[in-house]
């Protein structure tokens, strides 16, 4: 059974800086996207394990509190949920795979909204 798209998009926002995490979450909430927030990749993995089938997008910072980076989290999430949309945010350009999008810091609010609402995997033909 494939992953289904919920009626209301659900984003998992992973950012260890509380102000940035809240700002990103508020931007997405303004666009009618529900948000679950985590400050570490380890916490995000627990959320993915429990709710991964209904999460629409993973938006993660590259450098996080804890032992795992955002890229490591993205790769693990991709392995478990191949249709999950993933965006990595960092101040330094990253070499990410074609199915993971990248936003460079400092980001503009429109950058976050545009990338979070693209959902290319959900709306492509299968």
Q: Which two tokens stand for residue 14?
A: 């992973």
- Residue 120 CA to residue 14 CA, distance in Å, equals 20
CA atoms within 13 A on the CB side of 9: 23
Residue-range domains of the chain with CATH: 10-121 (3.40.50.2300)
Report pTM: 0.84
Residues 6 or more apart whose CB falls under 8 angstroms from that of 117 comprise 9, 31, 33
Q: Which two tokens stand for residue 39?
A: 């400050």
**pLDDT tens, per residue, the chain with 126 residues:** 455 554 688 999 999 999 999 999 999 999 999 999 999 999 999 999 999 999 999 999 999 988 999 999 999 999 999 989 999 998 877 666 677 888 888 888 888 888 878 754 443 332
Cβ burial of 46 (10 Å; 0-12, 13-18, 19+) is exposed
* Residue 90 parent element (H or E): strand 85-90
């Amino acid at each position: 059974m494939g992953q289904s798209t919920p009626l209301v998009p659900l984003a998992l926002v992973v950012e260890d800086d509380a102000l940035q995490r809240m700002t990103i979450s508020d931007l997405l909430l303004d666009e009618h996207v529900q948000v679950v927030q985590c400050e570490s990749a380890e916490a995000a993995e627990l959320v993915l394990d429990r709710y991964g089938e209904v999460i629409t997008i993973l938006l993660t910072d590259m450098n996080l509190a804890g032992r795992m980076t955002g890229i490591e989290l993205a790769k693990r999430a991709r392995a478990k949920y191949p249709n999950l949309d993933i965006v990595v945010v960092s101040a330094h350009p990253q070499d990410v795979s074609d199915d993971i999008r990248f936003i460079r810091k400092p980001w503009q609010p429109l950058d976050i909204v545009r990338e979070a609402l693209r959902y290319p995997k959900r709306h492509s033909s299968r």
